Amino acid sequence: MKNYITLSDIDHVETIIREARSLKSKNPSSKPGKGKTLGMLFFNNSLRTRLSTEKAAKLLGMEVMVMNADKDGWALEFEDGAVMNSDKAEHIKEAAAVLSQYCDIIAVRAFPGLKDKEKDESEHVLNSFKKYASVPIVNLESATGHPLQALTDAITIQEFNKAVRPKVVLSWAPHPKALPQSVANSFTEMMQRLEVDFVITNPEGYDLAPHVRNGVKVEHDQEKAFKDADFVYVKNWSSYEDYGQVLNVEKNWTIDQAKLKNTNNAKVMHCLPVRRNVVIADDVLDSENSIVIHQANNRTFAAQAVLKRILECRKE
């Protein structure tokens, strides 16, 4: 694996899930990251991604440097040929090249602006790092995807699954702020690569991008979608059609115990952070149905498997 930017950087999902689960069961004594440095740049807040990826790198023997790029770094210019006589002090060409002198892998978190669909879909921040860095790039959640989260989710579903072909439902839930579609996009892409029956449920106006859904069934009736579900993955996202907007939704889409009654005692997942009693009710989060903490724990092993693969590829 040269980079981990999208899920398409994983050639065989089952193999990397197996590797992550093996790393979870026993951390090997060999340290493929010894003498190597991971640099992590955050243009947005994080708890899980930051700490689990740092832990993963250290378990592999790597040194780790973390920078809150939005607060501590120079404001970056991404336009080619820009006349930099305004607020941007450093061009991505120098920034990425300089970071490549200090780091063996660069990991970047850069959320979308949710104003300009075309700009967000171009992934200009992540792709500029890829273009101008001379070391591998890892996506810590970008404008359109969160592939480390999706790998974690696949590991977690496999751990808890008891069915031959489980029914997995991705459910939209309310949120007061406009959030990216990234987690939902990557989860949808990942489910299409697993042996599951996958359904998305969201209110009208919240359908994910057609190229992400790629023919996956969207059921606008949440109750119908939940019937016999083995896993309910809950996430809010802002509208793709009415790009970045929070639309008026008449029905209550918050996930509570009453909504789970027709499921197959479904396990409930969420990438976190979660707003209690807005996205998911206390009676679910505090119940046996919730596996969100287990899911968050798996972030470490997903990151470890990805970093290990990149380190191994660099050695070849």
Please report, as ranges, the residues that interact with ligand CP according to CB under 6 A: 46-49, 141, 149, 271-273
- The least CB distance from residue 294 to ligand CP, in Å, is 13
Q: Residue 212: which of 232, 195, 234, 237 has the closest Cα?
A: 237
Read off the tokens for 201.
């449920």
Is 124 part of any known ligand binding site? Answer: no
Question: Which residue matches tokens 């590829």?
Answer: 313
- The least CB distance from residue 270 to ligand CP, in Å, is 9
CA angle 7, 284, 262 (to 5 degrees): 85
- The least CB distance from residue 51 to ligand CP, in Å, is 8
Distance between CA atoms of residues 195 and 13, nearest Å: 11
Is 307 part of any known ligand binding site? Answer: no
Residue 8 DSSP class: G
- The least CB distance from residue 47 to ligand CP, in Å, is 4
Identity of the residue, 10 or 271, whose beta carbon is nearer to ligand CP in the bound complex? 271
The residue with its CB nearest to ligand CP is: 49
Is 74 part of any known ligand binding site? Answer: yes
Identity of the residue, 98 or 272, whose beta carbon is nearer to ligand CP in the bound complex? 272
Is 276 part of any known ligand binding site? Answer: no
Identity of the residue, 33 or 180, whose beta carbon is nearer to ligand CP in the bound complex? 180
Identity of the residue, 15 or 45, whose beta carbon is nearer to ligand CP in the bound complex? 45
Is 147 part of any known ligand binding site? Answer: yes
* Beta strands 167-172; 231-235: pairing state: parallel
The dihedral through the CA atoms of 187, 230, 300, 304 has a sign that is negative
Distances (CA, A) of 272 to 59, 141, 275, 290: 23, 13, 9, 12
Distance between CA atoms of residues 316 and 197, nearest Å: 38
Residues 180, 239: contact at Cβ < 8 Å?
A: no
Is 237 part of any known ligand binding site? Answer: no
Is 50 part of any known ligand binding site? Answer: no
- Whether residue 180 is preceded by a cis peptide bond, meaning omega within 30 degrees of 0, is no
Identity of the residue, 149 or 158, whose beta carbon is nearer to ligand CP in the bound complex? 149
- The least CB distance from residue 238 to ligand CP, in Å, is 16
- The least CB distance from residue 229 to ligand CP, in Å, is 22
Read off the tokens for 111.
């959320």
Summarize the annotated binding site for carbamoyl phosphate as residue ranges.
46-49, 74, 109, 146-149, 271-272, 299
Summarize the annotated binding site as residue ranges.
46-49, 74, 109, 141, 146-149, 175, 235, 271-272, 275, 299
Summarize the annotated binding site for N(2)-succinyl-L-ornithine as residue ranges.
141, 175, 235, 275
